[in-house]
Copies of this chain bind each other. A is one copy, B any other.
Amino acid sequence: MSGFPELLPEQQLVFNRCLDIVRRTFERYGFTPIETPAVERKEVLTSKGGNEKEIYALSRLAAAPGESAETEFALHFDLTVPLARYVAQHKDKLVFPFRRYQIQKVWRGERPQSGRYRELYQCDIDVIGRGSVSLMADAEIPSVIYHLFREMDIGKFVVRINNRRLLQGFFDLAGVPAVCKTDVLRTVDAWEKIGRDAVAQALVNKIGLSETIAKQVLEFLASSRGKSTDEVLSDLRAQVADAQPTDASPGSDDFARGVHELQTVIAGMRSLGVPEEYFELDLSIARGLDYYTGTVYETRLVAHPDLGSICSGGRYDDLASYFTDEKLPGVGISIGLSRLVLRLLDAGVLKPGPATPAAVLVTTMDPSHMQDYLKIAAELRARGIATEVFLEKGRLGDQLKYASRKGFRFALIAGEAEFAAGQVKVKNLATAVESAVPREEVAPRLAEMVQS
User: How far is A38 from B41 in the complex, measured between Cα atoms in Å?
Assistant: 19
Is B95 touching A271 in the complex (CB atoms < 8 A)?
no
User: How far is A62 from B7 in the complex, measured between Cα atoms in Å?
Assistant: 30
> A180 on the interface (CB 8 Å rule)?
no
Is B392 touching A39 in the complex (CB atoms < 8 A)?
no
> A94 on the interface (CB 8 Å rule)?
yes
> A340 on the interface (CB 8 Å rule)?
no
> A133 on the interface (CB 8 Å rule)?
yes
Is B63 touching A53 in the complex (CB atoms < 8 A)?
yes
Among A227-235, A355-363, A413-421, the stretch that binds chain B is A355-363
A35 and B12 in contact (CB under 8 A), knowing A58-B57, A74-B61, A268-B374? yes
Is B61 touching A42 in the complex (CB atoms < 8 A)?
yes
Among the interface residues A5, A35, A55, A405, which one has the most CB atoms of the partner chain B within 10 A? A35
> A422 on the interface (CB 8 Å rule)?
no
A119 and B37 in contact (CB under 8 A), knowing A272-B374, A377-B272? yes
Is A381 touching B136 in the complex (CB atoms < 8 A)?
no
Copies of this chain present in the complex amount to 2
> A273 on the interface (CB 8 Å rule)?
yes
Among A23-31, A167-175, A252-260, the stretch that binds chain B is A23-31
User: How far is A36 from B107 in the complex, measured between Cα atoms in Å?
Assistant: 14
Is B60 touching A57 in the complex (CB atoms < 8 A)?
yes
Please, which residues of chain B bring their CB within 8 A of the CB of A132? 392
Interface positions of A from 90 to 145, Cβ below 8 Å from B: 90, 93-95, 97, 99-100, 105, 107, 109, 111, 119, 127, 129, 132-134, 136-137, 139-140, 143
> A406 on the interface (CB 8 Å rule)?
yes
How near does chain B come to A132, taking the closest CB pair, in angstroms?
A: 7
How near does chain B come to A99, taking the closest CB pair, in angstroms?
A: 7
Report which of B9, B13, B95, B356 forms a contact with A402, defined as CB distance below 8 A. Answer: B95
Is A1 touching B37 in the complex (CB atoms < 8 A)?
yes
User: How far is A63 from B389 in the complex, measured between Cα atoms in Å?
Assistant: 53
A392 and B129 in contact (CB under 8 A), knowing A28-B384, A28-B386, A267-B371? yes
> A323 on the interface (CB 8 Å rule)?
no
> A21 on the interface (CB 8 Å rule)?
no
Is A61 touching B71 in the complex (CB atoms < 8 A)?
no
User: How far is A209 from B41 in the complex, measured between Cα atoms in Å?
Assistant: 51
> A147 on the interface (CB 8 Å rule)?
yes
Is A370 touching B39 in the complex (CB atoms < 8 A)?
no
User: How far is A86 from B7 in the complex, measured between Cα atoms in Å?
Assistant: 10
A90 and B12 in contact (CB under 8 A), knowing A27-B386, A374-B271? no
> A435 on the interface (CB 8 Å rule)?
no
Is B355 touching A95 in the complex (CB atoms < 8 A)?
yes
Please, which residues of chain B bring their CB within 8 A of the CB of A39? 1, 4, 119
A97 and B32 in contact (CB under 8 A), knowing A37-B6, A71-B56? no
Please, which residues of chain B bring their CB within 8 A of the CB of A355? 32, 94-95
User: How far is A56 from B75 in the complex, measured between Cα atoms in Å?
Assistant: 11
A119 and B38 in contact (CB under 8 A), knowing A30-B387, A132-B392? yes
Is B56 touching A60 in the complex (CB atoms < 8 A)?
yes
Is B392 touching A99 in the complex (CB atoms < 8 A)?
no
Please, which residues of chain B bring their CB within 8 A of the CB of A268? 370-371, 374
Interface positions of A from 371 to 408, Cβ below 8 Å from B: 371-372, 374-375, 377-378, 381-382, 384-389, 391-393, 402, 405-406
Report which of B27, B61, B129, B374 forms a contact with A358, defined as CB distance below 8 A. Answer: B27
How near does chain B come to A111, taking the closest CB pair, in angstroms?
A: 7
Subset of 11 A-B contacts with CB under 8 Å: A4-B39, A6-B86, A38-B119, A55-B61, A56-B60, A129-B392, A132-B392, A136-B391, A140-B389, A140-B391, A268-B374
Given contacts A56-B60, A132-B392, could you give 10 more A-B pairs where the C-beta distance is less than 8 Å? Answer: A4-B39, A30-B357, A31-B357, A32-B357, A38-B38, A55-B62, A95-B402, A95-B405, A133-B391, A133-B392
